[in-house]
Amino acid sequence: MPIKVTNKQIKVHTDYVDFCPRWKLETAEYDKAKITSVDNHKSNKTKGDLAEPLTTWPRMPTTEELVYHQFIDSITDSKSNKFNPARDEDRRPIPKTGAMHVITDIIRLKTGDGLEFLLSKGSIIGHDAAGEEVNHHLPRPEMWVKTLFSWRNEYNSNTRGFDKICLGPSGIEIQYLKEFSRERKGVIRSACLRFN
């Protein structure tokens, strides 16, 4: 069933926009965790050579992330990197149509240390290659999971110094992108939308 949007303040994006940047933030933490090959006893490297980073710590995308990217791929034209437009009865593209993020709920969250953040629930509304409207539920795009890694300093006899070795994930921290401020309170209330 198509979603009827009555608020005219919602921006329609024709060019590609990442509506959920949390996946890039989560991946960036893994990209920092370089796995190096250090064998201090059998190394053929000359004095002063450092061990080269081989790869980053492997990360498995969540099901929610895979479904999101699959949906975005279905509403995006890969050749032009633009969102698919809606189409009329004759299958001609309708100008100034694309994808939009409709927020239905805004949640104010207070953490144990007294900080307040804003989270949202909503949907991305776009069009498939045939111009038919499709939507995807998008809960809490402002929240992401930061993976913490354990590190150990290991002496490298070739460089006569210490190398930082990644031991793997050691925990997580929940991070929030939008901090609540009392000055924006009126703006937040006017941004809340409802489905009809």
pLDDT attached to residue 145: 93
Q: Are strands 143-156 and 133-139 parallel, antiparallel or unpaired?
A: unpaired
pLDDT attached to residue 161: 87
pTM for this one?
Answer: 0.75
pLDDT attached to residue 158: 85
Per-residue pLDDT of the chain (196 residues; tens, 9 = 90+): 455 555 557 889 999 999 999 999 999 999 998 887 545 444 455 545 555 546 888 899 999 999 999 999 999 998 999 999 999 999 999 999 999 999 999 999 999 999 999 999 999 999 999 999 999 999 999 999 999 999 999 888 888 888 888 888 999 999 999 888 877 554 444 343 333 2
Q: Are strands 100-110 and 82-83 parallel, antiparallel or unpaired?
A: unpaired
pLDDT attached to residue 137: 95
Residue 60 DSSP SS3: coil
Q: CA of 190: how far to CAs of 10, 100, 106, 148, 194, in Å?
A: 12, 17, 11, 37, 11
| Domain range summary for the chain, segments of one domain joined by + | 22-38+51-191
pLDDT attached to residue 164: 86
User: CA 190, CA 92: separation in Å to the nearest integer?
Assistant: 35
User: CA 162, CA 139: separation in Å to the nearest integer?
Assistant: 44
pLDDT attached to residue 8: 55
